Amino acid sequence: MASSARVDLDGKPVRAISICMIGAGGFIGSHLCEKILSETQHKILAVDVYSDKIKHLLEPDGHPWADRIQFHRINIKHDSRLEGLIKMADLTINLAAICTPADYNTRPLDTIYSNFIDALPVVKYCSENGKRLIHFSTCEVYGKTVGSFLPKDSPLRQDPSYYVLKEDASPCIFGAIEKQRWSYACAKQLIERLIYAEGAENGLEFTIVRPFNWIGPRMDFIPGVDGPSEGVPRVLACFSNNLLRGEPLKLVDGGQSQRTFVYIKDAIEAILLMIENPARANGHIFNVGNPNNEVTVKQLAEIMTQVYSKVSGEPSLEVPTIDVSSKEFYGEGYDDSDKRIPDMTIINKQLGWNPKTSLWDLLESTLTYQHRTYAEAIKRAVARPVASS
């Protein structure tokens, strides 16, 4: 239930504000809208080209928050209404982006335009109108770890200073230009630099968020059910799709890359702290992840297979995974981050935030959702006779 007497981390009352949330209809946006509407009195001007993931929040009646969210179907590439919405709000949160790796090397122009060019007016309008901005960047700005360039048997690879990623110290290490995978990371890095410079030269009040593989319900789509059959979503949805269809999970280049996964509901708590504690969040770049949930992609596939069997009651496949080359899976120009462990010093010091949910628990609640939401639809799709030509 929304509380009218919220206090910030310094014990001061939090004033209800108006938030222009761009990309509100996506995975993170949908969870952020739910949290803000159910636990605070803030108002949301929700901007997106899609609203399916927030339609349960937009029904005119039946919710105590009905008058606190307004949906604006706007493509920020070309819509003059954007500046007016930013001017009306106290805070803008920009989530809009192309952010699925399958696009980075196959649609590099769209990727660069979406992550850099389309974000420029948002930064400009915030700066010119004296409005606060929380901008979503990515852990991909770190690229590869320093340690990945050491010989495989070097003992230095075990030294955290060669792989733990620190906002104010780690370099950004990308591959060659022909490795177009890095188009996204590079565009995100440049918009971070621009926002930082607007802060330094023009006094823009900003916070930059670097999410480390947030996962949970409503992430991406299941190909052939609520997204294109040939589409390639991020790994959670790829593996969920394989499990739902009873197919082996595809391990790109053997699944040796490592990731740390954080539960979306934990991560959203961090964003609410940023929203309600501007004095502690402004001018900072924050890693938001769970360093305790590190696995290789192969281990992720094994755990998801076990968890799915538990929540669906279906036995696991005898051969649960198959290897596939990155060229076959993603096409020319793919490359990968080897390891992503967030340093948590800054977010801990400024906001006292820590993630809580273990990988097993977050996969159990997420795969329960996937099974409940998609299993029947997939059964129907598989049973449907193929139309004869």
Ligand X SMILES: O=c1ccn([C@@H]2O[C@H](COP(=O)(O)OP(=O)(O)O[C@H]3OC[C@](O)(CO)[C@H]3O)[C@@H](O)[C@H]2O)c(=O)[nH]1
Ligand Y SMILES: NC(=O)c1ccc[n+]([C@@H]2O[C@H](COP(=O)([O-])OP(=O)(O)OC[C@H]3O[C@@H](n4cnc5c(N)ncnc54)[C@H](O)[C@@H]3O)[C@@H](O)[C@H]2O)c1
Contacts to ligand X by CB under 6 A: 99, 101, 138-140, 184, 213, 234-235, 238, 250-252, 255, 257, 259, 297, 336
Q: Which is nearer to ligand Y, 75 or 154 (CB)?
A: 75
The CB-side HSE value for 178 (13 A sphere, CA atoms) comes to 1
Quote the least distance from Cβ 111 to ligand Y, whole Å.
10
> What are the CA-CA distances from residue 307 to residues 164, 239, 368 (Å)?
29, 12, 9
Would you give the distance in Å from CA 206 to the centre of its chain? 19
Closest residue to ligand Y: CB criterion: 26
Q: Which two tokens stand for residue 277?
A: 């504690």
Question: Could you tell which of ligand Y, ligand X, none binds residue 49, using a CB distance below 5 to 8 A set by kind?
Answer: ligand Y
Angle at which helices 235-245 and 297-312 pack, to 10 degrees? 40
184 is a catalytic site residue: yes
Residue 50 binding: pick among ligand X, ligand Y, none (C-beta 5-8 Å cut-off by kind) = ligand Y
| Distance of closest approach, residue 178 Cβ to ligand X, in angstroms | 18
92 or 111: CB nearest ligand X: 111
Point out the catalytic residue in the list 104, 125, 142, 184. Answer: 184
Residue 234 CB, nearest approach to ligand Y (Å): 7
Which residues of the shown chain bind ligand Y in the complex (CB under 6 A)? 23, 25-29, 48-50, 75-77, 95-97, 99, 114, 118, 136, 138-139, 211, 213-214
Task: Specify the residue, 156 or 322, whose C-beta has the smaller distance to ligand X.
Answer: 322
* Shorter beta-carbon distance to ligand Y: residue 145 or 312: 145
Cβ at position 153, least distance to ligand Y in Å: 32
For residues 297 and 307, which CB has a smaller minimum distance to ligand X in the complex? 297
Q: Which does residue 238 bind out of ligand Y, ligand X, none, counting CB within 5 to 8 angstroms by kind?
A: ligand X
Q: Which is nearer to ligand X, 267 or 297 (CB)?
A: 297
Q: Choosing among ligand Y, ligand X, none, which partner's interface includes residue 95 (Cβ < 5 to 8 Å by kind)?
A: ligand Y
Q: Residue 235 touches which of ligand Y, ligand X, none (CB < 5 to 8 A by kind)?
A: ligand X
Q: How far is the CB of 52 from ligand Y (least distance, A)?
A: 9
Q: Cβ of residue 190: shortest distance to ligand X, in angstroms?
A: 15
- Known catalytic residues are 184
